[in-house]
Structure 1
Amino acid sequence: MGVRGLQGFVRSTCPHVCTVVNLKEMAEHHLSRHPDCTPTIVVDAMCCLRYWYTPESWICGGQWREYFAALRDFVKTFESVGIKLIFFFDGMVEQNKRDEWIKRRLKNNREISKIFHYIKSRREQPGRNMFFIPSGLAIFTRFALKALGQETLCSLQEADYEVASYGLQHKCLGILGEDTDYLIYDTCPYFSISELCLESLDTVMLCREKLCESLGLRVADLPLLACLLGNDIIPEGMFESFRYKCLSSYTSLKRNFDKKGQKSPWFFQKPEGVTVLDKQEISMSSDPESKQEIPICTEPESNQEVLMCAGPDSEEKVLLCADPELKEEVPICADLESKQETPMCVDSESKKEVPMCINPESKHEVPMCMDAEPKQEVLMYMDPEPKQGVPIHADPEVNHKLPIGTDPKCNLEAPMCVHPEVTQEDPMIMGPEIKEQVTMVSDPEILKIARNHHVHAESYLVYNIMSSGEIECSNTLEDELDQALPSQAFIYRPVRQRVYSVLLRGCQDGTSTAYPVVKEWFVYPGNPLRHPDLVRPLQMTVPGGTPSLKILWLSEEPAVQAQRLDILLSCFNLSSSREELQAVDSPLRALCCLLIYLFIQVDTLCLEDLHAFIAQALCLQGKSTAQLMNLQLEYINPRAVQLGSLLVRGLTTLALVNSACGFPWETNEFMPWNVFDGKLFHQKYLQSEKGYAVEALLEQNRSWLTRFHNLKAVVCKACMKENRRIVGRTHWNSHHTGRWGRQSSGSHRTSSAYSRSGQGQPWRDQGPGSRQHEHDQWKRH
């Protein structure tokens, strides 16, 4: 619903809409008026990631210890003045915003290409003007805030709806974010995160009432304005012709009548072609798609708005009237010559017949009015089951929300949209929509548990897989010109496929043992994102068998806890290394599991890479945040940049597996601030590449030397079980160019030159679920 450029327009053209406020003073004032209510600010966390990520280095995979410290300072600052924070994160991409999501991802791909070009030409990190947030930042921010004791929620739709709803329902002090949605929605005050000075708690409040005053609108008009200007749902170009005609009429009007001008973006002072009926002004506009004129009229005294639709050859009009006396919306057809009005869509209590049409796509009946002469149908929306107290208008079929609505029973303007699937007082309550929703998993109890974990930001992707069978992963710092290293989307796909088999067991259709496919919207070089990759679950063998999800998630028996770990290791195809991994201390156990999987999966990883990964993990344990901040790098290596992002994506994959398996490991075990620092890894990588001895990599710390060799032995032993021998670069064949093609019948390894089928396809075109040919629109795997 947000409008691109609106905030810039406000600051340049209507600066009085922006007011500097002090959040501490506002909290004190709020507390004086409501002594029993803690001043609360709802935070749109996705808008704040760039503000929170203050570390100077961002190219190497993330400065996670520094980032965690910055988050802790942010939280403490608000706690010190008695302000409670509620953090919301996007939980999924809505279908009607998928196109916009794809558009942004493809744009990010172009930016990433420029970043790698810069690194290769300058051997340094680009300036902040090319800043790209580290992979996994949003995911790990959720876990970081929860570790800091903050209430953190994950949305069941795009978060801005739920942020605005929560702020209004709970009478919050305001919303902290950077999104014009909060100027459009009629909710609590909107504070800018980009203007926040953390030391003083001064920021800018953008006032939608003052914006409306400047534009000559009501607050209830803002959603329509957003649609006419274009937003994430309504393409900007859809009403381009309409806007052009409005501006043309306004310019002509101002020149000819020498008046002050428009009262709103779509009402004009009697331009040419206006018809006046009983003090009502009707302005004509044209829809470029239907070529059909749409008069809109308003009566200033009654504040009634009437939407009229007309066929081009007919005098008969269709009006939609909101009569405050009748307390209902009554669509009518009116013949302008006879002045007779015929109700077409009326209150359901009247028991009158309503002409209906069938939407061929949704197969849902929709009230309609028909112009008999040109045979044009005009569809109008009516909620067939108005529910008092639910301020939302929604198409029951597509579940599309309009943030501004009118309660048909009490005629109160409903300034917010509340997702019917979420009651913020109790996120566990499941409304009728979710009960009727077609999901991948039919067990309501299991879905309820998965949903609860999702809403409280305790899991990652599990509910998305079980409810819609659709997941996405945003851009990663990957060089599309480097064929030696595969995309993380391919490397971790076998793990995800095994997770699908855990979560979707029992979802077969009864006539076959085939699992349903999962739609993956993963960004990787060469993927045009025209369609999702359709990926089937990968069956696996678990020692002792795989228990049901109810047992796996709910049982507290020690034997089940052991099964959880067995399934986690099976997802990484590492069951045979269980004993060795169990002997590794936390938090390096999870990292060790990930390194084994990576080195088995990717042939082009060498001994120097392994040394760098292990050395940075050990050295990290003995370094303070200040020491990490002061690290200086000689130069930036593009391959090390990719390896840093690759490891972090592995940690997010661990979060998915751990969630699906019932949390066999403590979340802390694979949080990056405990096992990975991008700049420290980059330093160790450069040193290892130059041939530094292990002692030098470990900074001459003898206590780390024994642990280093133990960890290396565990990784190498596990790889040897899969016939994968990790060697140094000096042992590579002289003709080797970074593409290995060795096949192994006992492994699930993939290499940069050949797929396991031996067909010699490069990385960008291989892997389960990838499309070999673009015209193969829905190729199944």
Structure 2
Amino acid sequence: MGVKGLQYFMERCCPESCVTVNLREMARQHVYKTTDNSSSCPTLVVDGMACLCHWYLCKDWVCGGQWKEYMSILRSWVETFTSAGIRLVFFFDGMVEEKKRPVWVKRRRRVNGEISKIFRYIKLHGEQPGKDLFSLPSGLATFTRFALRSLGQDVFCSVQEADYEIACYARRHGCMGILGQDSDFVIFNSAPYLSVAKLHLDRLTTVLYDREILCRAIGLNVSQLPLLACLLGNDVVPEECMQAIRNNAMAAYRKSYDAAHSGAPQGQMVFAVSQFVSSLWGTEEEEMGLIPLTLKLPVAERKLLEKGICSYLLAAPDVPQQDATPPFTSTFEKYVSPEILKACREKHVSAEGFMVYNVLCEGVIECSNSLEDEEDHELLPQAVVFKSSRQHIYGLLLLNKHDDSTAEPPAIREWIVYPGNPLNEPDMVPAVPICIPCEQPSLDLMWFTSGPDVSALRLMSFFSIFDCQEFAELHGVIEDFLLAALCLVTYIVLQVPSLCSEDVDAYLSQAVCLRLRSLQELQHIKLPFLCSRAVQLGSLYVRGLSYMLGANCASGCPLPNAALMPWQSFDGQLFHSKYLLAHSRTEQAVLLDKHPSSLALFLQLREKHLEVCKKRNRVLQSQSKVNVLGQSHRPQYRDGRTAGGDNWRERGDTSFGGWRRETGQRGGGNSRAKLQERPAHRGRGGDQHSHPRFLPPSVDEGAQNTSSRPEHTLSRWRPSRGRY
């Protein structure tokens, strides 16, 4: 969020502080000025989280992401800077600090409202909404870290506030600038702050927000900027906390200036608070404190203000990096060895791991918004679907044979966004041991030793997390990314009773076909309409890949992390096209692009999938979920019940597949959704459903090799607008 109104003020009321710069020339000048280190490459520190919406330029975003195209965009972006002689260092948020939890929750609730509008729009119009409802694909930040590492870039994941670590790194290493979109970088006394929103990649120009010019315009020293930021409002000091001070400052300012030279009220506010801050300091002794003695505040507000100011104070450039971060402690030190804690921290910082550090060292995980339709009565939220796998990850990490302690580790605090969860408090989720033939394996054994037996143990542990131990025997038989896709699809089917055979065909066929599709072919896929259910299933798959990544890291990486990246096994447009074809009862040969080897591979994967489902008493039904108008179709049982049961989000005293809503206290208290224990899936009976006849939709996939791609003869079919 940055400082309330500061960037607006610099752009509108102090335009001289916004300087257009050429990054190539800036890099040359930086090398010239640093003569003692002229041999080093000029470095730009990039705030990865701020860049995501500027990197994801793919046309499709609602179907789950066009990941191959996204990788191409990242590669081109990096090469542009590299060819200009600029080294890039990327930072990503590794955790949410508790002092910023309220802000995080507020944003998540706001995005939930936007996602509801997205699904209402899809169901009304059958197409992707405009830019005003744009939402990044699930897991984009997580997978971008690994994407940039695969491109040979230096990537770091924060262990505290990412903005602070970025500013510290840039100051310590004498970097040429910080590329981001957060006015906090104006306040930090670090490298120059450069705007990614105003970056023109073709000519490598952007806007530099100059703090020195700003200070001259508002009459402050650079050292006084932190107090100004906190009084205006930021992520640490909420805007409303200092409202009285700002009101008094504005009243005094307006008395001094009959015709305020700043114009707009936002500009007047910055001038007014700056004038107030300037008036607070008197003697040099008073300037030594964080807050001048002349600023009278209640104890609680003074402490909050001090905390906010301290968040901007950087370690000296000569302080080693390990001394600039808080002392390393862990909630679970007695459950794992010091070597494990050290290793998981190192992997976290270097962006090689996922989930493990947050579990072992913080005891908390976060998961932001996913594209989930809160009005869908069949599909479970991803938080529910993947709860079992998360619990097994916790069990693998915390219930291993490290010492003789028999004490159960505390539950993990989960801040996961899902429909019905007001995020007033975390869900407390206990660890559950994995089920393997031998005893619970030791992390030290799986992480630090090698050999055939250990490799087999890693594989078995990984697949046990998803209750798919049988797939371990396929390792080396099929490609790793297909093995991961098979495991993930099977797990989802075991957890979600409403999934049908057509859904499985869509998932597996697109994973198989993606190998042979070029980037250009994927970009030319055109969908006749969008189905809201397919949108949620696409998001569910990608979110599942992130949990597989966490399971892989916890298991000692039996699979290469590269095999778990979405660009290996998923494309949103391709999946959506296969979903529509599968649910229109298209022949398998057509579904597999009339490619014999793809069809053979698909049938092999499907057979293995069905074998595991049969062992778990999970019987897949054939159910069409798309009708002629593109709406989700809810088939009925013979007794009139709809597939998937009653509205599981509205019931307060029964459960659906382990999901339950618990009502709040009497007197109108807020109800909140709790993630309950899931019983083992026992399958689902019932008669075969009957379906209305309908015209199968076509999927015009653009210019393709007609010798290996099916011809779609129903391109004349177009749904009427507004009837979905």
TM-score higher than 0.5: yes
Q: Any residues of structure 2 matched to 1:202-217 within 5 Å, and which?
A: 202-217=205-220
Q: Any residues of structure 2 matched to 1:679-718 within 5 Å, and which?
A: 679-718=573-612
Q: Equivalent residue for 1:541? A: 435
d(CA) in 2 for partners of 1:75 and 1:37? 18
d(CA) in 2 for partners of 1:54 and 1:666? 28
Q: Encode CA deviations 1:137-176: one digit per residue, 9 max, x unaligned.
A: 0000001001111111000012110111111111101001
Q: Is residue 175 from structure 1 mapped to residue 68 from structure 2 by the alignment?
A: no
TM-fit CA distance, 1:735: 5.0
d(CA) in 2 for partners of 1:721 and 1:263? 67
* Segment of structure 1 superposing worse, 8-17 or 81-90: 8-17
TM-fit CA distance, 1:129: 1.8
d(CA) in 2 for partners of 1:262 and 1:482? 46
2:124 to 121, 124, 129: 121
Tell me which protein shows more strand as a share of its residues: 1
d(CA) in 1 for partners of 2:398 and 2:281? 54
* Cα distance, 1:42–1:502 mapped onto 2, change above 3 Å: same
Asked whether the 8 Å contact 2:47–2:92 carries over to 1, the reply is yes
Q: Does the residue aligned with 1:534 lie in a helix, a strand or coil?
A: strand
Q: Equivalent residue for 1:60? A: 63
Q: Equivalent residue for 2:720? A: none
Q: Equivalent residue for 1:766? A: 659
d(CA) in 2 for partners of 1:76 and 1:546? 46
Q: Encode CA deviations 1:369-401: one digit per residue, 9 max, x unaligned.
A: x99xxxx979988xxxxxxxxxxx998xxxx87
TM-fit CA distance, 1:263: 11
Q: Equivalent residue for 1:465? A: 359
Q: Does the residue aligned with 1:152 lie in a helix, a strand or coil?
A: strand
1:298 maps to amino acid:
G
Q: Any residues of structure 2 matched to 1:535-614 within 5 Å, and which?
A: 535-580=429-474, 583-614=477-508
Q: Equivalent residue for 1:339? A: none
Q: Any residues of structure 2 matched to 1:298-697 within 5 Å, and which?
A: 298=282, 304=284, 306=286, 322=288, 402-405=310-313, 416-417=314-315, 423-424=320-321, 433-435=327-329, 441=335, 443-505=337-399, 513-580=407-474, 583-697=477-591
TM-fit CA distance, 1:268: 5.6
Q: Equivalent residue for 1:342? A: none
Q: Equivalent residue for 1:7? A: 7
TM-fit CA distance, 1:423: 4.7
Q: Does the residue aligned with 1:520 lie in a helix, a strand or coil?
A: strand
Q: Encode CA deviations 1:619-670: one digit per residue, 9 max, x unaligned.
A: 1111111111111111111000000000001100100000101101001111
2:124 maps to amino acid:
S
The higher relative CO (CA closer than 8 Å, separation ≥ 6) is in 2
d(CA) in 1 for partners of 2:82 and 2:530? 39
Q: Equivalent residue for 1:254? A: 257
1:71 to 74, 82, 105: 74
1:135 to 130, 138, 144: 138
d(CA) in 1 for partners of 2:26 and 2:290? 43
Q: Any residues of structure 2 matched to 1:151-166 within 5 Å, and which?
A: 151-166=154-169
TM-fit CA distance, 1:186: 1.1
Asked whether the 8 Å contact 1:472–1:522 carries over to 2, the reply is yes
Q: Encode CA deviations 1:443-466: one digit per residue, 9 max, x unaligned.
A: 322111110010001111111110
Asked whether the 8 Å contact 1:604–1:738 carries over to 2, the reply is no
d(CA) in 1 for partners of 2:477 and 2:513? 20
Gaps of 5+ in 2: 625-634, 678-724
* Cα distance, 1:378–1:676 mapped onto 2, change above 3 Å: closer
Q: Equivalent residue for 2:32? A: 32
Q: Encode CA deviations 1:68-105: one digit per residue, 9 max, x unaligned.
A: 00000011111111110000000000000000000000
2:498 maps to amino acid:
T
Gaps of 5+ in 1: 270-280, 284-295, 307-320, 323-328, 335-369, 382-392, 406-415, 742-750
d(CA) in 1 for partners of 2:592 and 2:373? 29
2:247 maps to amino acid:
Y
1:766 maps to amino acid:
W
1:224 maps to amino acid:
L
CA RMSD of aligned residues (A): 3.7
Asked whether the 8 Å contact 2:3–2:184 carries over to 1, the reply is yes
Could you tell me the percent identity over the aligned residues?
A: 40
d(CA) in 1 for partners of 2:649 and 2:101? 32
Asked whether the 8 Å contact 1:568–1:661 carries over to 2, the reply is yes
TM-fit CA distance, 1:729: 1.1
TM-fit CA distance, 1:539: 2.1
1:533 maps to amino acid:
D
Asked whether the 8 Å contact 1:2–1:184 carries over to 2, the reply is no
- TM normalised by structure 1 equals 0.77
Based on CA coordinates, which of the two structures has the bigger radius of gyration? Answer: 1
Asked whether the 8 Å contact 2:335–2:403 carries over to 1, the reply is no
2:83 to 68, 80, 95: 80
Q: Any residues of structure 2 matched to 1:85-96 within 5 Å, and which?
A: 85-96=88-99
Asked whether the 8 Å contact 1:517–1:536 carries over to 2, the reply is yes
Asked whether the 8 Å contact 2:45–2:170 carries over to 1, the reply is yes
* Segment of structure 1 superposing worse, 490-499 or 695-704: 695-704
* Cα distance, 1:708–1:115 mapped onto 2, change above 3 Å: same
d(CA) in 2 for partners of 1:588 and 1:282? 63
TM-fit CA distance, 1:25: 1.2
Tell me which protein shows more helix as a share of its residues: 2
Q: Is residue 194 from structure 1 mapped to residue 197 from structure 2 by the alignment?
A: yes
Asked whether the 8 Å contact 1:501–1:515 carries over to 2, the reply is no
d(CA) in 1 for partners of 2:290 and 2:373? 58
d(CA) in 1 for partners of 2:291 and 2:91? 38
* Cα distance, 1:225–1:431 mapped onto 2, change above 3 Å: closer
* Cα distance, 1:61–1:218 mapped onto 2, change above 3 Å: same
2:33 maps to amino acid:
R
* Cα distance, 1:470–1:52 mapped onto 2, change above 3 Å: same
TM-fit CA distance, 1:577: 4.1
1:166 maps to amino acid:
Y
TM-fit CA distance, 1:211: 1.2
- TM normalised by structure 2 equals 0.83
Asked whether the 8 Å contact 2:415–2:426 carries over to 1, the reply is yes
Q: Any residues of structure 2 matched to 1:745-764 within 5 Å, and which?
A: 760-762=654-656
2:608 maps to amino acid:
V
Asked whether the 8 Å contact 1:604–1:752 carries over to 2, the reply is no
Asked whether the 8 Å contact 1:48–1:177 carries over to 2, the reply is yes
* Cα distance, 1:236–1:507 mapped onto 2, change above 3 Å: farther
* Cα distance, 1:699–1:176 mapped onto 2, change above 3 Å: same
Asked whether the 8 Å contact 1:584–1:711 carries over to 2, the reply is no
d(CA) in 2 for partners of 1:54 and 1:601? 33
Count of residue pairs the alignment pairs up: 655
Q: Is residue 19 from structure 1 mapped to residue 19 from structure 2 by the alignment?
A: yes
d(CA) in 1 for partners of 2:333 and 2:663? 29
Q: Does the residue aligned with 2:328 lie in a helix, a strand or coil?
A: helix
* Cα distance, 1:173–1:332 mapped onto 2, change above 3 Å: closer
TM-fit CA distance, 1:738: 5.1
Q: Encode CA deviations 1:224-270: one digit per residue, 9 max, x unaligned.
A: 11110111111101111111111112212334999x9999644769x
TM-fit CA distance, 1:417: 4.5
* Cα distance, 1:243–1:137 mapped onto 2, change above 3 Å: same
Q: Does the residue aligned with 1:644 lie in a helix, a strand or coil?
A: helix
* Segment of structure 1 superposing worse, 508-517 or 519-528: 508-517
d(CA) in 2 for partners of 1:601 and 1:646? 12
d(CA) in 2 for partners of 1:530 and 1:219? 38
TM-fit CA distance, 1:297: 3.9
TM-fit CA distance, 1:473: 0.2
1:207 maps to amino acid:
D
d(CA) in 2 for partners of 1:606 and 1:377? 60
